Amino acid sequence: MASNGGKLKIFLGYAAGVGKTYQMLEEAQSLRHKGIDVAIGYFEPHGRKDTIAKTEGLEMVPRKRVEYRGSYFEEMDAEAIVARHPQVAVVDEFPHTNVPGSPREKRWEDVLFILEHGISVLTTMNVQHLESLNDQMAQITGVKVRETIPDWVVKKADEVVMVDLTPRALLNRLERGVVYPPDKAQRALQNFFKESTLVALREMALRQTAHEVEERIEQDEISLEASGPGSSVAPRDRRLNDAVIIYVSDDPSTAMLIRRGKRVADVTHADCFAVFVAERGDLQSLPAQKREAIERHLNFARNLHIETRVLSGSDHAQALVDFARGQKARQIFLPRLVGKGMERLRGKSLVNHVVSLADDMEVTIVADRRQDGRTGK
């Protein structure tokens, strides 16, 4: 975070009940005993007595009531937290979507607002809410997570702590009624809380945490190189002038393609571009429905901090490969199938043409497994 802003610490888990909120509140209590001014901005008890007990002695900033379609809902009051201005604010459920009519759409946007006012934040989230992992999570769990957080937001965190619990121990907690009431616990055991699913999610969370640690070590090394005694040499650039290019179409699978490409770019420290090709170099000549889909996908890419380009060219493959080569790209991401009927045939033709032109690059063809029963690359 910026030097004049607050610090962000995320307690990351892989499922409800692993102890993220409990550990966050333990840290809040430790800070309070050290004389640091701590207030709870938002806390979701879920009826867990041990967790509720951890809030004792901590001031809670009152929630605000938001009217929506004739009903009232309680939401975190970010403005009240800023007015109260504790040194540290405790904010549960980072990925939460606010009720329409709230000042900001997402709780993570509220948290950024709080951080900008110099207040540090402790918060919680599960790994399945990370935007770039959304498609992999759907394949693992069979559930499409609707509330996601862009990767760049998590990367702003000063610290990410993995709150770990073995799947067997978590299932024991669930069976004892610690996580959910008995009726809800039984439904969970039959669906999301299968041991094989929890094992896969835990592995994903451990891998994500390791990745965050590696990135922070690299950033620290770069800082040391830049600020070493008597050094006048610019820090070594970890990017090797590589780039990942993502082909944007109006096909619904484009969102999945963007997430996959962004994930690879982050892991390899490469620049990332989402590219659409139009004959006139703009979207105005497209049919309204197609234009809306393209604009939606380009905006989605921008929200993930991906640079977007609309290229001019009647030969989509040639324009795409020329741009990729100009960016010294090593990898191009394409959908395996685009549309139906003739559109699908054109999609196959595009893929074949790009593969033949980009013989000096890696072309990754990604299938949307929700639409295509076959396994993609």
Pick the CATH number of 243-366 from 3.10.20.30, 3.40.50.620, 2.20.28.120, 1.10.10.10: 3.40.50.620
Can you give the pLDDT at residue 247?
Answer: 95
Task: Domain 8-215: give its CATH code.
Answer: 3.40.50.300
Average pLDDT, integer, range 249-254:
88
Residue 342 has pLDDT above 50, yes or no: no
Residue 341 has pLDDT above 70, yes or no: no
Among 3, 21, 1, residue whose Cα is nearest residue 12: 21
Count of CA atoms in the C-beta half-sphere (13 A) of 153: 23
Average pLDDT, integer, range 213-234:
54
pTM, rounded to two decimals: 0.69
Phi, psi of 203 (to 5 degrees): -60, -40
* Distance, CA of 269 to CA of 266 (rounded, Å): 5
Beta strand 64-68 with 331-335 is unpaired
Domain extents for the chain? 8-215, 243-366
* CB neighbour list of residue 254: distance below 8 Å, 6 or more residues apart: 248, 293, 297, 335
Amino acid in the structure at residue 203:
E
Can you give the pLDDT at residue 234?
Answer: 42
- 8-215 against 243-366: fold identical: yes
Residue % of the chain over a pLDDT of 90: 47
User: Strand, helix or coil at 214?
Assistant: helix
Cα-Cα end-to-end distance for the chain: 37
